[in-house]
């Protein structure tokens, strides 16, 4: 469950790390949030480091690849 406004596309720039914007534009903040929460163990809106953003991006790509194989 996200905090109020974290998944609102209008407020993305206030909550999300700028490196994650392309991913958010591509698949939406709700899915990135859910996958990021699962892979990091904390909300992806807390990401401060490039390494964290890279982990979320890798997890999203893995999720999409698994979904495409089905």
pLDDT, tens digit, for every residue of 9-34? Answer: 788 778 899 999 999 999 999 999 99
pLDDT digits 0-9 by tens, 37-55: 999 999 999 999 999 999 9
What is residue 38's three-state secondary structure?
Answer: helix
CA–CA separation, 56 and 4 (whole Å): 21
Query: CA torsion sign, 7 to 10 to 56 to 48?
Result: negative
Total-model pTM? 0.86
């Amino acid at each position: 469950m996200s905090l109020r406004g974290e998944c609102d596309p209008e407020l993305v720039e206030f909550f999300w790390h700028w490196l994650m914007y392309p991913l958010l534009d591509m698949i939406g903040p709700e899915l990135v949030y859910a996958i990021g929460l699962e892979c990091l163990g904390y909300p992806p809106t807390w990401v401060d480091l490039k390494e964290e953003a890279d982990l979320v991006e890798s997890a999203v790509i893995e999720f999409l690849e698994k979904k495409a194989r089905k």
